[in-house]
Structure 1
Amino acid sequence: MIKSKEQELTSKEQGLRIAKSPSKLGWFLLSLMFFALMGNVRADEGMWLLSLLKKNNAEQMKALGLKIPIEKIVSEDGALSESVVGFGMSATASIISGTGLVLTNYHCAYSAIQQYVTPTNDIFQNGFWAATMTQELPVHDLIITVNKKILDISDEVRAEMQAKNARQAIDAVTRKYQQKYPSNKVLLKSYKNNTMFVMFLQLQYKDVRLVGVAPKNVTKFGGETDNFMWPRYSADFAYFRIYTDKNGAPAAYAKTNIPLVTKNYLHISTAGYQKNDFAMSMGYPGMSDRNATSYKISEKTQALNPPLIAVRKLRQAIWLEEMDKSPLLKQLYAEQYATSANYYKNAIGMNLWIDKLKIVSNKEKEEHQWQDWISKDQSKQAMYGNALQDLRKLIEENSPYQRALTYYTEGFATPGVLNFIVGFGKSFQDYTANIKIRHSLQKDLTSTAKSHYMNFHIDVDKRITKAILKLLIDSLPTNLQPAYFTVKNLHSAASIDQYIDEIYHQSVFGDSNKLQAWLNNPVIAINNDPLMQLGEAIEAKRREVFSTCSSNSNKAYRYSAAYTNSLADYKANAYYPDADRTLRLSYGTISDLHLDGKTIPYQTTFGGLIATAKNSTNKDYFLHRKLEEMWQTKDFGKYGMNGDMPVCFVTNGDVTGGNSGSPMLDAYGKITGLVFDCNWESMTREFNFEKDLHKVICVDIRYMLLITEKFSTTKRIMEEIEKAN
C-alpha cells in the first residue's frame, strides 16, 4: 500500500520544529523545499498542480486520449477536482453520490475499523455493512477535506511583495481570503522560489461515518506478502459517508446531522478499458524529493533506512508471534503491524532498487553537469560554486547522529509505556502542584492514560522494550547511548532482561490500575519511579542527538538553499513541484509491465486469484468461501468477461505516498478503478520516475461493485451507487 512519509515522523519535537521553524527543518527534511523543474517532460511523469494543467499539460493529455476539456477537471466551480477529497492526513478518497457516499482504500480505513472491533465482533475478519443510515458508525478523529476552489493567485501575491517580504505578502493575502470566505480553510502554497502561488479554498468535514467494508481476507488478499507486488488480487476498498448540520455546513458529530447533499460527485464507468487507454488519477501525494543530491540519497540508504529496517523487523516479529497466540492481541495490533510493515518493506525495496538502477551514480552525473553550468558564469560560480561540496561535508559529518536519531525515534514511536512517559510524563511530575489549581486534571490524565494504555498489552510492551534496548546497545557507540545505561550496567541481554522485569513490576506506569491508583493518591514521588527515570534518560539522549542534527541542518540550510535557488534557472520550462499534500493530477496509459525480458500483463483476473490461493499454503492467500463459491458458479453478474472477472490493473502514471484511495479515471473523467499501491520496482519514486518500470496498481471498479453486491448484507449501497450513475 502507498503510505505517506509524513506518517513516519512520530517525534513530537520534530513536529514542533516543522510547525514553528519551516526555514530550518534541516537537511534531512529539506526535501519539502526542492522543486522538480523538468525539461523534456514526458506525458506520464509528474504530480501536476491542477492550476497549471491548461498551461502545461492540456495538449499532451489530449494526445494521449483525454476526451473532456481541462476545465472539466478543475475550475472555480468545482468540476472533478471538488469530488476528490483528502481522507485524514495521509490518504485520498472520492465522493461518489449526491448523498455524500465516499470511496477509499480498505487499508486507509484501518484506524476507523479498529474503533469498532470487539472481542465478539471482529469486523476486520467479518466485514461490516450498515443496513440503514442510522447504523453508519461515527469515526473519531477523521477529517475529510474538500477543495471548493483552486486558484493561481501568483499576480496578486507578487503585487503584495512589492512592499512586503514573501512571508508578509502570503500572510496578507491569506487574511484577505479568510475574511472573504470565513467558513473555508484558506491554504496558500508557494512554489518556484516564491514566484508562483496557488490558493486552495477548503471545507473540512469532521462527521464522517463508516458505511461498509468487506472481510480483510478479501480486501487485503495477499496481505503483506503481496504488498508492493504485481500481479495483485486485492479488493482494497471501503465506503464512508460525510455528514453535515441541517444547513449543509461542516459540523462535529451529532445525531441530528444529515448526509452531505452535493451535485458534485464522481461517476463510475463499468465499460472497462483496453491496453494503452488513457488513464489519470487525482490525489494528495505527501512527499517526494525529485532533485535530491546523490549524497542525500546515499544517506537515505546507508544511515536512515538501515536502523528503520532493523527496529521494525524486530518489533514486527514480536507482534506477529504474539498475534498468532491470541485473537485479542491480533485485533489490538493489526493496524500497528500493517502500518509498520508497509514502510519497512518500502525501505528494503528502496535500498534494493536505488542500487539496482544506479540512481546515485546517475545523480552524480547530473551534479557534474550542474557544476559545469555554473563554472561558465562568474556570478553563478560565486553564488553557488561550493554549495554541493559544503552540503556533502555536513551530511557526512551528521550521518552517525542521524543514524542514532532514527534508532531512537523508530525504537519508541509506537504506543507503549516509554512512549507514554515521553509524551505525558511532565504532566505527572507536575501533578501534585497543578491539581490544586486545575481541578479537572485528575479526570483529564485518567482519560489520557486510559486511551493510551488500551492501544497496547503490557506484557507485549515489556518484551518489545527489552528487544529495543538490546538493539540500541548493539548498534550505537557508547557516546550515543544514554549514560543511564552505564549507571544501571545495561550492557548485556541478561542485565536488560532482569532490569526491565524489575522496573515494570515496581513502576506505577507498569500497570494501568496502579497508575490510576497513583492519580487517586499520589503519595509516591513520581520522579523516583524507575520507568519514569528510564524514559527520561532515553528522551534526554534523543534530544541531545536531535540538537546536534538540528545544529548541522542550520549550517547546511544556506548551502541547500543556494543549490535549490539555482534550479529554476538551470532547469527551465514546464515543471511540477514536489509533493506536499495538495491535490495533484498524474496521467499516463494502461500498460503491461516489462521486466527482465518478460511481459507481465496489465490486468489480473478472478481466475488468477483462485490459482494463487490453490497453489499456496501461505495464510495471506486464504480463500474466503464466498470467493470459492463465486468461482464455482461463475456468478459474476454483469461484470464478468468470457467466464472470468477483472480484478486489478496497472497504469504507468506517477504517484507516491498519500495517493492511496485516489480514483483512477478514464478519458471521460469516470472512475474505472481505485489506486492502492505501487509495484516493487517503483520503490525509488521518492527520488525519480522510471517510465518503463514504475506502475500504479488499481483495483477494478467492477470488482469492487461485485464484492459489494455479493458480500453486503444490504442492497441500499448498490442502489445508491446505481442511482448516482
Structure 2
Amino acid sequence: MISKRILSFFAAAFLSIGITAARPDEGMWLPMLLKQLNEAEMQKKGMKLTAEDIYSVNQSSLKDAIVSFGGFCTGEMISPEGLLLTNHHCGYGAVQSHSTVEDDYLTDGFWAMNRAQELPNQGLTATFIVRMEDVTKDILAGTDAAKTEAERESIIQRNISKVGKAATAGSHYDAVIKPYFYGNEYYMYITETFKDVRLVGAPPSSIGKFGGDTDNWMWPRHTGDFSLFRVYAGPNNEPADYSPDNKPYKPKHHLPISLSGIQEKDFTMVFGFPGRTNEYLTSQAVKEIYEVSNPAKINIRETKLNILDKDMKASAEVRIKYAAKYASIANYWKKWIGENRGIRKANAIEEKQKLEQQFAGWVAADPSRKAKYGNLLAEFEKNYNALEGVTISRDYINEAAFGVEIVKLANNFTKLQEQLAQKAPQNEIDAQVARLEKYSAEFFKDYNAPSDKKVFAALLSLYYNNIDQQLHPTAFAMVRQKHKGDFSTYADDVFKNSVFTSEAGVKKALADAKAGKDVFKNDPAFILASSIADYYRVNIMPTYTTVNDNLNLLYRTYMAGLREMQSDKNFYPDANSTLRVAYGVVEPYEPVDGVKYKYYTTLEGIMEKAASGAAEDYAIPAKLRELYEKKDYGRYGMNGEMPVGFIASNHTTGGNSGSPVINANGQLIGTNFDRNWEGTMSDIVYNPNQVRNIAVDARYMLFIVDKFAGAGHLVNEMTLVTDDTSGLPQVDARKTKEKPSKKDKKRKKKEKAEVGQ
C-alpha cells in the first residue's frame, strides 16, 4: 500500500502546470515508417543508426531481436543461442508455476546451470515480426457501400481474413492485421511464433521485485526487474512444440550489450509491443475516466488488496498461490492513482477542451468542413451522456463482481448449463466437460476459498452500497430480503452450499453433468454469476456496444479532421500491442518545486533503503550485501559504483515491460520495466516535463547473473561491447564483440567445463 506520507507528498506535487508543446520524445512510431517520419529527428538527437538498421525486410536488423513475450510483454534476444531477456514481473507467472513450498523459486530465485536444467513452460510463446505492410486499401475495399457501422465492420473482417490468408499461404507464418487511427488505416504484421520457451534464470524476489508495491510506479527505483528464458526451435531453426530434441533458436540478430554506461542526454530508443493508449480521447472521455471510472476501480482494488495482503502474510501457501494475482491487481491500482494525479497536473481535461475549441473554429471557417465535421463535437457529447450509469455499472461488474474468483469460475459454466437444460447431444456435453475439467484444475491450483470468501463479502458490499438499486442485478434483491443486505451472511450461505468452493466439488458436479444431471441451476454461486451476467447482457452491453460503435465512427472522423487541421504535424497511432519504436534521451526531472531527481540509481541506494527498515519490500539477500561491502562489482561497476537503474523520456506503456532500451549505436543499455508515477497519465496525454520510463541498467543485470548467481556461463554466451571510440552503427554483433582478456578466456574455459556446455 502507499503510505499517507507518500500520498501527501504527491498530492502537493500535482499542481496544474499545463501541457507544453509536444516534442519528439512523444510517440510510439511504426518501424516501417521511421525513414519517412522519424529518422532525421532521431539522428539529430544523437542516433548513429539508420532506419534500415532498425527495421528491414531485406537484411538482419534490430527488429529481428525483438519478441512479443507471451503476448503480454516484450523480450529481446541477447545471445546467438536463443537467450531471451525480459522483466522479472513478465516471467513471474512462469517462475510461480515451477515454485512450491519446498522449491520456492519466487523467494530464492532460479538459475539453470546447464541446458538440461532449463524449465519448459506450457503455453508460453515468443513471437517475432517478419515484416510489416500497409494494407489499408485492401482492407477498406468495398466499405464505401456500407450503410451501417456493423456492415462496414463485417466487410473489413472478411477483407482481413482474405488478405491474411493470402499473405501466409504455404508458410508457417501468421498474419496480424489491426486498425490504426480508429480505422482510417490498416497495417499487417507477418509473424513467426515459437512455442518452446524455457525458464533459464530469475533473481530472488528480493532483487527482482525489490521495492515491491511501495516503489511500484515510482522513482528513484532500485529493482533488478529481469528474468532470462531461452527460445528453442525444431529442425531448420523453425517453431516447434516442446520436445527434448529441440535446439536453441539461432536468431537473425541479437543485441550486443554495452558496458560503457549512460550519460545525461544520451539518445535512447525503446523497441517493443506497447499494449494500449488513448491519446486522442475527447475531454468528455477524459473527464469520465478521471471523475467516475478510476476512483471506483481504485477503491475496489484497494479493498481486495488489503484482504489478500493479510492472508498472504499469514500463510506461505497462500502467498505463493496469490503472488502473481496480487502483483497484477496492485499494478493497475497504483497506476490509476498516478494517472488521475497526472491528469490533474497536466490540466488534461482543459487542454483537450482547448483543442476541441480550436477544432470547432477551424470547422466553422469553411463550408465544406462544416458539412463534414459540423455535428461531430455535439455527437460526442450526446454519446458520452448516454453512458451515464452504464460505465460505472460495467466497472463494478468487471472489478467487483467478477473480481470475486468463485463468481468468475461459476460464470464459466454457463455454456454447460445451457447444454444440460437443452439436452444437447452427449458429444457436445462431453467436450464442454473436458474443457471445464482442464480449466478448473488450473483454477484451483492457485485458489484459497477462505480468502475468496472475505473478498466476496467486501467487494459485493461495495457493489451493493455504491451503485443505485435501480442498477442492481436481480440477485441483490434476494440478498436484501433474505440477508438484510448483509453480504457476510450471504457469503456464509454461498460458500457453504456451492460446489464451486473446492476442486472435489467441481469434479463431482462435472461427473454428474456428464451423466445428464442438471447440477448447476440451483447452485448459489452459479445463480449469482448468472444474475450478474444476465444484467450485463440485457442492461449494459446493448447500450455500451451501441455507444461504442457510434464513438468509433466519431473518433475515426475526428482523427481525419485533426490530421487535416494539423497537416504539418506527424501523428502517431495509439498503441495496440503491435511493434513500435519510442525514442528520447536519458534525462532527470523535477517532481515538485525544489526537488530534482537524478537520472540513475546505484547499489548504494539499495543499501540505504534496506537500512531504513521502512518496508519489508526492502529486504535484501545477504550475498548482495556482501558483494556491496567488498565492492566486488567485477567489470560491471563504474567509478566505484554499481549502477542499478536509469530513466529516460521514452513514451511507453503496458506491454513495453521487458522492452530493450537501446543506445545510439544499437546496443542494449537497459530493460524497460516501469514508468514514474507522475507520468502514468501518458496513456492519455503526454507531459514532457514529467513522463519518464524506468529501466534496469544492463550492467546490473550482468552483475546479478555473474557475481550474485554465479551463472557466468550465461554471460559468456552474450556479446559484451564498449563504444568509447566508435560512432558507427554496430548492428552486426559479430563485429562488435569485446576482445576477451587472457583471464576471461581462462575463466570461461573453467566455467564451460563445470557446467558441461
- The structure 2 residue matched to 1:711, chosen from 708, 712, 717, is 708
CA contact (8 A) 2:60 2:252 kept: no
* Partner residue of 2:128 out of 122, 131, 146: 146
Q: CA deviation at 1:256?
A: 1.7
Counterpart pick for 2:427 among 412, 432, 437: 437
Give the C-alpha shift of residue 156 in structure 1: 7.5
Q: Do residues 51 (structure 1) and 32 (structure 2) align?
A: yes
- Output one character per residue of 1:353-392: Cα deviation in whole Å (capped at 9) or x when no partner: 2112211011111110000000011122122222212211
Select between 449-458 and 307-316 the one with higher mean Cα deviation.
449-458
TM-score between the two structures when normalised by the length of structure 1:
0.90
Q: Which amino acid aligns with 1:175?
A: K
Please say if residues 112 and 140 of structure 1, whose CA atoms lie closer than 8 Å, have aligned partners that are also in contact: no
Correspondence 1:93 to 2:75: yes
What secondary structure does 1:275 align onto? coil
Q: Deviations over 1:154-186 (max 9, x none)?
A: 68878999999983665544333222x622112
Distance verdict in 2 for CA 1:556–1:92, change over 3 Å: closer
Q: Does 1:589 align with 2:582?
A: no
| Letter in structure 2 aligned against 1:711 | F
Deviation digits for residues 232-256 of structure 1 (CA, Å, limit 9, x no counterpart):
1011100001111122111111222
- 1:550 corresponding residue in structure 2: 545
CA contact (8 A) 1:304 1:406 kept: yes
Residues 155 and 429 (structure 1), Cα distance of their counterparts in 2 relative to 1, 3 Å cut: closer
The amino acid across from 1:660 in the alignment is: S
Select the residue among 649, 669, 676 that pairs with 2:666: 669
CA offset digits 1:649-675 (Å, max 9, x no partner) = 111111111111111111100001111
Alpha-carbon distance in structure 2 between the residues aligned to 1:154 and 1:401: 34
Answer whether contact 1:470 1:493 (CA < 8 A) is retained.
Answer: no
Q: For 1:215, which of 192, 204, 220 is the aligned residue?
A: 204
Root mean square deviation of aligned Cα: 2.6
Matching of residues 230-309 of structure 1 within 5 Å: 230-309=219-298
1:110 alignment partner, one of 75, 92, 100 = 92
Q: Which SS does the other structure have where 1:298 is aligned?
A: helix
For residues 468-502 of structure 1, the C-alpha deviation after alignment (integer angstroms, 9 at most, x for no partner) is 12111110111111122223426978732222212
**Contact preservation (8 Å) 2:706, 2:712:** yes
Q: Tell me the distance in 2 between the aligned counterparts of 1:195 and 1:318.
A: 45
The 8 Å contact of residues 82 and 147 in structure 1, kept in 2 or not, is answered as yes
After TM superposition, give the deviation of residue 138 of structure 1 in Å: 0.8
Write the mapping of 1:26-105 to structure 2, written as runs, cut at 5 A: 42-76=23-57, 77-105=59-87
Would the aligned equivalents of 1:299 and 1:399 in 2 still touch at CA under 8 Å? Answer: no
1:444 & 1:584 partners in 2: Cα distance?
Answer: 36
TM-superposition CA deviations, 1:433-475 (whole Å, max 9, x none):
4573355655543333222222211111111111112111110
Cα shift readout 1:320-356 (whole Å, capped 9, x = no counterpart):
0100110000001111111110100111111112112
Structure 2 SS opposite 1:667: coil
How far apart are the structure 2 equivalents of 1:103 and 1:189?
27
Q: Distance in 2 between matches of 1:170 and 1:426?
A: 29
Question: Any idea what SS the aligned residue of 2:386 has?
Answer: helix
Q: What amino acid is aligned across from residue 474 of structure 1 in structure 2?
A: N
SS at match of 1:65: coil
Verify the 8 A CA contact 1:39 1:572 in the aligned structure 2: no
Indicate if the aligned counterparts of 1:652 and 1:696 stay in contact, CA closer than 8 A: yes
1:39, 1:575 within 8 Å by CA — same for their partners in 2? no
- What's 1:660 paired with? 657
Letter in 2 for 1:217: S
Shift of 1:62: 1.2
Cα distance, 1:413 vs. partner?
3.7
Which range moved further: 626-635 or 246-255?
Answer: 246-255
User: Residues of 2 paired with 1:499 and 1:154: CA distance?
Assistant: 54
1:542 is matched by which residue type in structure 2? Y
Tell me which of 680, 690, 708 is aligned to 1:693.
690
- Tell me, yes or no, if structure 1 residue 334 matches structure 2 residue 329: no
Which secondary structure state, in structure 1, belongs to the residue aligned with residue 681 of structure 2?
coil
Distance change in 2, residues 1:49/1:276 (3 Å): same
* Shift, 1:396, TM fit: 2.5
Aligned to 2:14: none
Identify the range of structure 1 (546-555 vs 403-412) with the bigger mean alpha-carbon deviation.
546-555
Residues in 2 aligned to 1:256 and 1:241: alpha-carbon distance in whole angstroms: 14
The one-letter amino acid paired with 1:635 is D
Secondary structure of the 1:528 match is coil
Q: Distance in 2 between matches of 1:677 and 1:377?
A: 45
Aligned to 2:727: none
Task: Give the secondary structure class of the aligned counterpart of 2:687.
Answer: coil
1:357 and 2:346 matched: yes
The 8 Å contact of residues 388 and 560 in structure 1, kept in 2 or not, is answered as no
Task: Show the counterpart of 1:130.
Answer: 112
> Equivalent residue for 1:312?
301
Matched residues, number? 687
User: Which structure ranks higher in relative contact order (CA pairs < 8 Å, sequence separation ≥ 6)?
Assistant: 1
Q: Tell me which moved more, 392-401 or 200-209.
A: 392-401
Matched, 1:635 2:632: yes
Deviates most, 306-315 or 550-559 = 550-559
SS at match of 1:399: coil
- Counterpart in the other structure of 2:621: 624
Deviation larger for 596-605 or 184-193: 184-193
Structure 1 residues 492 and 370 mapped into 2: Cα distance closer, same or farther (>3 Å)?
farther
1:721 aligned partner, one-letter code:
M
Partner of residue 382, structure 2: 393
CA distance in 2: counterparts of 1:87 and 1:270, whole angstroms: 25
1:634-690 deviation per Cα after TM superposition (whole angstroms, max 9, x unaligned) = 111111222221111111111111111111111100001111111111011011211
Contact 1:416 1:453 in 2 (8 A): no
Label 1:196 to 1:483 Cα distance change in 2 as closer, same or farther (>3 A): closer
- 1:448 corresponds, among 432, 439, 454, to 439
Q: Identity rate of aligned residues, in percent?
A: 32
Q: 3-state SS of the aligned residue for 2:166?
A: helix
